[in-house]
Amino acid sequence: MSILRRRDAVAQLLAKREDALVVTGLGSASYDVMAAGDHDNNFYLWGAMGGAAMVGLGLALSQPDRTVLVLTGDGEQLMGMGGLATIGVAKPSNLVLIVLNNEHYGETGMQRSHMGLGVDLVAVAQACGFASSQRILDEAGIDEICAGMHQHAGATYAEIMIGTEVTERVLPPRDGVFIKNRFRQSLGFTSI
Amino acid sequence: MYMPNTSPAADSSWQHQILSALKRSGVEIIAYVPDAAHTVAIRDANDDPDTTAVSCTTEEEGVAICAGAHLGGKRAALLMQSSGVGNCINMLSLISMCRFPLLALVTMRGEWAEFNPWQSPMGLVTEQSLGLMGVQCFRAETPEDVLTQLAAASESAFSGDQACALILGQRMIGRKTWVE
């Protein structure tokens, strides 16, 4: 079985986004989502490391009828590990947290992360009370996530195992105020 | 033996007004890391069917939750104590970069009649730290200040898109007592 390529995995997932609201963690996860196509309902982080899942939680609680999809990397999620406990307790039914796991810090020179050294966030998410927590190894596994992500059956953690291949940097906009206002406007909210 | 709990109880009536004041400002989501002086507000938030209370493992989670709530069109507030401000520093870049409103209520330790010196390093620079990251501080020093200053901070946050913190002074809170 060949290991999933990150761009293909993210594109496959986002093809089934429907009206999902998407938050991306800084670095490659943001570039992957941008490469799959910019969207008014994408909120890209360029910093605030460790915060993607928590932005997603706040969004999920304020938009309970919409699927909220957080896509981030293993290093970013490791920095916000306590957030898994917070999600487990808050129990947002509509939050899907996808960790793209290449077991490395890609943005800073491919240093190894804790993930390849014995740390298992699938088990952590499960222990924290996520309704489902799984490791995805192939396209069929991504299809399963796609099939369930609009069901709002409880907080979902899915870790997609990906390779460490180098990809083209497809840069999303870096103007945070623009991204915020565009996102809110598409939900019908005006700026001040 | 040192007994810190020897002072008469401070007037804590303001604590019972926090949730209703936040609700008047349109706040529906309250993220928090517990502090003794937020006990009543946290309990009220958890008991209120119209408020979503989110318990955080660290304060920076709450900063990001407030940002996400605003993205989704709801107002949120963050309750924490002064030592938690240090945990928020880099996450506050999310607030300033995107010009998210922020309403944080910060109970002070380490600035007045503090028996635990470990509270002082962060408590003595709480406002400076917030200021360095672009958060405007409003202070309440007496129970009478609280509602006025909370309303002001709330208006600056939600009508003015500013990052705001209401600092609840330790003298008003009173000396540390252990909650049994």
Mean pLDDT of chain A: 97
Judged by a CB distance cut-off of 8 A, whether residue A184 touches chain B is yes
B-interface mutation test, from A26, A61, A94, most B Cβ less than 10 A away: A61
Encode pLDDT of B118-169 as tens digits: 999 999 999 999 999 999 999 999 999 999 999 999 999 999 999 999 999 9
pLDDT at B3: 54
Determine the Cα–Cα distance for residues B112 and B57; give it in Å rounded to an integer. Answer: 27
Judged by a CB distance cut-off of 8 A, whether residue B76 touches chain A is yes
Phi, psi of A167 (to 5 degrees): -120, 160
Determine the Cα–Cα distance for residues A189 and A181; give it in Å rounded to an integer. Answer: 8
Contact at CB, B61 and A192, closer than 8 angstroms: no
Domains of chain A: 6-186 (3.40.50.970)
Determine the Cα–Cα distance for residues A82 and B147; give it in Å rounded to an integer. Answer: 33
**Assessment of whether the complete model's pTM goes beyond 0.80:** yes
Which residues between 65 and 124 in chain A have a beta carbon less than 8 angstroms from any beta carbon of chain B? 80, 82-83, 85-86, 89-90
- A91: closest chain B residue by CA: B54
pLDDT at A77: 98
Cross-chain CB nearest to B29 (options A58, A177, A191):
A58
The CATH code of domain B17-173 reads 3.40.50.970
Map out the domains of chain B as residue ranges: 17-173
Encode pLDDT of A20-54 as tens digits: 999 999 999 999 999 999 999 999 999 999 999 99
Contact at CB, A48 and B66, closer than 8 angstroms: no
A60 pLDDT band (50/70/90 cuts)? very high
Determine the Cα–Cα distance for residues B12 and B14; give it in Å rounded to an integer. Answer: 5
